[in-house]
Amino acid sequence: MSEPLSAALVARLRETVGFDHVIVDPDRLFVYESDGLTQYRAAPKAVVLPATTDELAAVVRLLVAEGVAVVPRGAGTGLSGGALPSVDGVVVGTARMNRILSIDPENRLARVQPGVVNGRLTEATRPHGLYYAPDPSSQSTCTLGGNVAENSGGPHCLKYGVTGRYVTGLTVVLGDGEVLRLGGAGRAPDDALDLVGLFVGSEGCFGIAAEIEVSLLPVSEGVRTLLGIFETMEDAGHAVTAIIGAGMLPAALEIVDAATIRAVEASVFAAGYPTDAGAALVVEFDGTEAGLDADVERAATCCREAGARDVQRATDEAHRLALWKGRKKAFGAMGRIAPDLLVQDATVPRTRLPQVLAGVAEIGRRYGLEIANVFHAGDGNLHPNIIFDRQDPDQLSRVEAASKEIMALCVEAGGTITGEHGVGVDKRQYMHLVHGSDELEAMADVKAAFDPMGLFNPGKVLPDAEPRSSGESAMVTESVS
């Protein structure tokens, strides 16, 4: 365990944000030891919770002046260990920066603090006929600041794109405590670089977004959902290819495999998917009411021609939610049957999906591991879920080896090691699979342009720096991902 923060620094932090908002009590620090990827744990020296941009900047200045690392944290729902504390650092949480600052329906914009929960923004803008498009599965708890850090996606980004498309401006606090406004709607300064686009997805390594300006979309007039049940995964894949090939652009195209269907149906989340099916495909269209029935009809035809044994169309909202249930509850259901569940994330070109899925299954067989697949088929974003028991060291080493092979397989197929969960601490070891040393050095050079002292989220994303989680507090070693 490293040296605790000096009493003087704790006192000054408390003066800045209020006594209760600087946490140093080990019992209260416990909940901050990991994010959604609980395999990694480390205790921070302290957690500081500022409420305003000024407080945030002051906190960063105090910490940086003492050379203390800053680990930004939103809701802690990330799945790559991006918010894993640094044992010689302080977690700066945005939980109290949770105000929606303005909603501007005329210009379809909103300004928010980073701790605003994704789903809350959509709720707040819906009365204006608007919504915030990116919808990560954790949208009821994840924060927009976290979404900016991770460039989060979601099932509907096939049609609407990921977070970066909707962020029009940022106020950021950088490594020296400087508060900078980047971009902003309604302005196109001469010779400007896209610093907003560069900041989005920087995983807390460039600075902290203190204010976020996002564009909103008009709520679709209608939505239609269709569920196709297939004998084999291959058939479901053919249906996806046929739908895209026919020039349709569904809002979502999601596949749930046989292992996942069985897990869901065996759980309290049973959605009524047939347990002997090879795969289920959820297709959703949204937009102007008038065109939707024709779209659904064409997609249903694609499914039948690809060999679907059953095609159901939602007839009302309750039915629609029921069709989605097997997809949305997949992780929850598997979490219940498995002692531990590793949610993997990788992207491949869509046409390589059948080959890659066959490869993933083969890797699972070879290592004696059950791997269940749930994925965003429309954009080639896979989530192979490996069921394991972390108490069993032999299983752990097999999970580690299988994960690495899956990543290599995806990269070989022209894909990448993460589509939406980020690199964090978990995938640093795979960065060499997709990037050469020149690219990694360029990333380090650009990080230094934002964070010259290297104090923002050290040990994340880039593989060269050593992770700072302490050996004794990590429940599982770094090699397990």
Partner 1 sequence: MSTLADVLPVEALEDVGSAPELPGADATVDAFVRPLDVAEVARAVRWALEDGRCVVPVGTGRHLHRMAVPRRCVVLSTSRMRGVETYEPADLTLTAGAGTPIAELTEALAPHDQWLPFDPPDAESRTLGGLVASGLSGPLGTGYGTLRNHVLGATVVRGDGRALRLGGRVVKNVAGFDLLRPMVGSRGGLGVLTSVCVRVFPVPQADRLLVARADDPEQLVAAARAVATAPLLPASLVLVAGVEGHGGAAALLVRLHGARATVDADQATLERCIGSGLEVLEGEDARVLVRAARDHPAASGIGLASVLPACLGPALEAVRASVGSVDLAADASAGSIRFAFPAEAASGLAGLREALEGLGGSLGLERFPADLELRREDVVTPPGPGEVALAERVRAAFDPSGVYWPSTSRAAKSSVVGVG
Does the protein bind partner 1 through residue 247 (CB under 8 A)?
Answer: yes
By CB under 8 A, is residue 194 in contact with partner 1? yes
Q: Which stretch binds partner 1 (CB under 8 A): 38-46, 187-195, 271-279, 334-342?
A: 187-195
Contacting partner 1 (CB under 8 A), which of 217, 270, 322, 338? 217
In 83-129, the DSSP E strands lie at 89-93, 100-104, 109-112
The binder of partner 1 chosen from 384, 419, 459, 467 (CB under 8 A) = 419
By CB under 8 A, the residues from 424 to 443 that bind partner 1 are: 427, 431, 434-436, 438-440, 442-443
Stretch that binds partner 1, among 138-146, 256-264, 304-312, 445-453 (CB under 8 A): 445-453
Neighbours of 391 (CB within 10 A): 9
Q: Is residue 18 within the footprint of partner 1 (CB under 8 A)?
A: no
Closest contact distance (angstroms) between CB of 104 and partner 1 is 8
Query: Cα separation of 141 and 126, whole Å?
Result: 18
Say how far residue 322 (Cα) sits from the centre of its chain: 24
127 binds partner 1 (CB under 8 A): no
Per CB under 8 A, 126 contacts partner 1: no
Nearer to partner 1, 11 or 465 (CB): 465
Closer by beta carbon to partner 1, 65 or else 448: 448
Phi first, then psi, for residue 59 (nearest 5°) are -60, -45
* Interface segment toward partner 1; rule CB under 8 A; list 5-13, 275-283, 364-372, 422-430: 422-430
Q: CA–CA separation, 251 vs 406, rounded Å?
A: 28
Site string for partner 1, 257-286 (x = CB under 8 A): ------------------------------
- The tokens of 123 are what? 């709720």
The least CB distance from residue 207 to partner 1, in Å, is 10
**Contact status: 248 vs partner 1 (CB under 8 A):** yes
Residue from the set 37, 57, 348, 406 that interacts with partner 1 by CB under 8 A: 348
* 359 part of the interface to partner 1, by CB under 8 A: no
Backbone φ, ψ for residue 435 (5° rounding): -125, 140
Among 305, 330, 139, 296, residue whose Cα is nearest residue 230 = 305
Tokens representing residue 186 in the block: 């309604």
The 149-168 site mask, x for binding partner 1 (CB under 8 A), equals -xx-x---xx--xx-xx---
**Which of 11, 192, 358, 475 touches partner 1 by CB under 8 A?**
192
User: 3-state SS of the chain: helix, strand, coil percent to 5?
Assistant: 40, 20, 40
Distance, CA of 220 to CA of 142 (rounded, Å): 23
Instruction: For residues 415 and 413, give the distance between their C-alpha atoms in angstroms, rounded to a whole number.
Output: 6
Q: Which is nearer to partner 1, 398 or 427 (CB)?
A: 427
CA angle 442, 444, 446 (to 5 degrees): 70
* Of the residues 132, 273, 324, 450, which one makes contact with partner 1 according to CB under 8 A: 450
175-195 as b/e, with b when 16 or more CB fall inside 10 Å?
A: bebebeebbbeeeeeeeeeeb
List binders of partner 1 among 37-66 (CB under 8 A): none
Task: State the minimum distance, in angstroms, from the CB of residue 184 to partner 1.
Answer: 8
Nearer to partner 1, 394 or 445 (CB): 445
Burial of residue 25 (number of CB atoms within 10 Å: 0-12, 13-18, 19+): exposed
Q: Using CB under 8 A, which of the segments 117-125, 250-258, 324-332, 411-419 binds partner 1?
A: 411-419
* Residue-level length of the chain: 481
